[in-house]
Amino acid sequence: MARRNLQFDPGELPYGYNSGAALVSSGVIVNAGPACLFKMTVTSQSASDQYVLLFDAAAVPANGAAAVAAFKVPAGSTARIDYGSRGKAFQHGICWSNSSTLPARTAGAADCYAEANWH
């Protein structure tokens, strides 16, 4: 379980989130409480570029919400963001959504596979 100060003991392993065989979109809750994201990988099957938006929230926000971080996933490819061994702290929770726009969320189609490592 994540601690409030988001510091972890040496040797602790992160949890994993994987969308599995399902293509996902419109927002996914990775963790609904304080956590630290180490890395995230997203594979898109879209014919056009899209963005993955990360939100510091316990629930996926509505369209128009601004993300705390974002990365571009080129059409039909895989992209990843890596915050290293210290990770990126999320005080309220980790949610993500694919989006056709930046910086605000415009929910995309169900055409992504995702994997995240967090603690």
Written as six digits, the tokens of 17 are: 């989130």
Please give the C-alpha separations between residue 38 and each of 12, 104, 119, in angstroms, as whole numbers: 13, 23, 8
For the cut 50, the answer to whether the pLDDT of residue 98 exceeds it is yes
What would the pLDDT profile of 45-84 be if each residue is shown by its tens digit? 999 999 999 999 999 999 999 999 999 999 999 999 999 9
In the predicted model, what is the mean pLDDT of the chain? 83
Other CB atoms within 10 Å distance of the CB of residue 15: 14
Domains within the chain, CATH numbers bracketed: 24-118 (2.60.290)
For the cut 60, the answer to whether the pLDDT of residue 6 exceeds it is no
Least confident segment among 5-9, 19-23, 59-63, 114-118: 5-9
Chain centroid to CA 30: how far? 7
Helix, strand or coil, per DSSP, at residue 80: strand
Q: Where are the alpha helices (DSSP H) in 1-119?
A: none
What's residue 34's pLDDT? 93
Nearest to 117 by CA among 33, 30, 56: 30
Report residue 3's pLDDT band, with 50, 70 and 90 as the boundaries.
very low
Least confident segment among 13-27, 37-51, 57-71: 13-27
What's residue 53's pLDDT? 93
pLDDT, mean of residues 2-23:
54
Q: Which residues of 31-65 are buried (b: 16+ CB within 10 A; e: fewer)?
A: beebbbbbbbbbbbebeeebbbbbbbbbebbeeeb
Q: What is the pTM of this model?
A: 0.82
